[in-house]
Amino acid sequence: MPDIAAELGVSRGSVSLWTRDIEVVVRRRASPRAPNSLQRAKQAEIDTLLAEGRARIGELSERDLLIAGAALYAGEGAKADGKVVFANSDPLMMAMFCAWLRTCFDIDERRLRFRLYLHEGLDLGVAETFWSESTGIPTSQFQAAYRAVADPTRRSSKHPMGCASVIYCRSRTHRAIMGLVQALLTSTGHSGVAQLAEQTTVNR
């Protein structure tokens, strides 16, 4: 009220009369809520099972990495013959794939390529630096990024660093990977898998 009175050149009493019917709501900044018992129990279970998972997995041997990478590619890698392509938005998954590719195969680093799918409005330079550090592929080997226009009717959230694709154009490497994938999926170590694989082959 003193500010209003000074601006209008009137007394505070006048301003008080003019504003007496106006309800003033004082908005206080909400303090963060403490987690309730269910949330605490959920987080405790997550933490416990994460620790158990790390203990069960332990350090990966080269054979462990070979098998894990084959499973990773079976789920997320391109199957068409001719080139190795692995796409994902998770930097840990991309880093693991690159480590697997470099460890288990004879790779010519100069032939590695990278493609980024990034929505318009997001920082391309930051994203490229992020993925170069995650994959170990220099930005000079990055292909032109695909800048997507977000569709507000489909989703409101976007991956801030986009979706990454690592590309390695060598048929022999891709065929070696698919050999591992097929061997993994038809391993006799899994009950019933070999029989199913045989039936699938016959049906073809």
CATH number of the domain to which 78 belongs:
3.30.1330
Tokens standing for 42?
């959920």
Residue 50 covered by a domain: no
Which residue type does 186 have? T
Residue 35 covered by a domain: no
Angle ∠(112,94,47) on CA atoms, nearest 5: 165
Residue 43 covered by a domain: no
Residue 84 covered by a domain: yes
Residue 4 covered by a domain: no
pTM of the model: 0.72
Encode pLDDT of 153-168 as tens digits: 665 556 889 999 999 9
Give the chain's residues under pLDDT 50.
Answer: none
Residue 181 covered by a domain: yes
Residue 170 covered by a domain: yes
**SS3 readout for the chain:** CHHHHHHHCCCHHHHHHHCCCCCCCCCCCCCCCCCCHHHHHHHHHHHHHHHHHHHHHCCCCHHHHHHHHHHHHHHHECCCCCCEEEEECCHHHHHHHHHHHHHHCCCCHHHEEEEEEEECCCCHHHHHHHHHHHHCCCHHHECCCEEECCCCCCCCCCCCCCEEEEEECCHHHHHHHHHHHHHHHCCCCCCCHHHHHHHHHHHC
What is the rounded CA–CA span in Å between residue 129 and residue 83?
25
pLDDT at 86: 97
pLDDT at 5: 75
Considering its fold, how many domains does the chain have in total? 1
Domain extent, residue 79, equals 62-186
Residue 204 covered by a domain: no
- In contact, 57 and 145? CB cutoff 8 Å: no
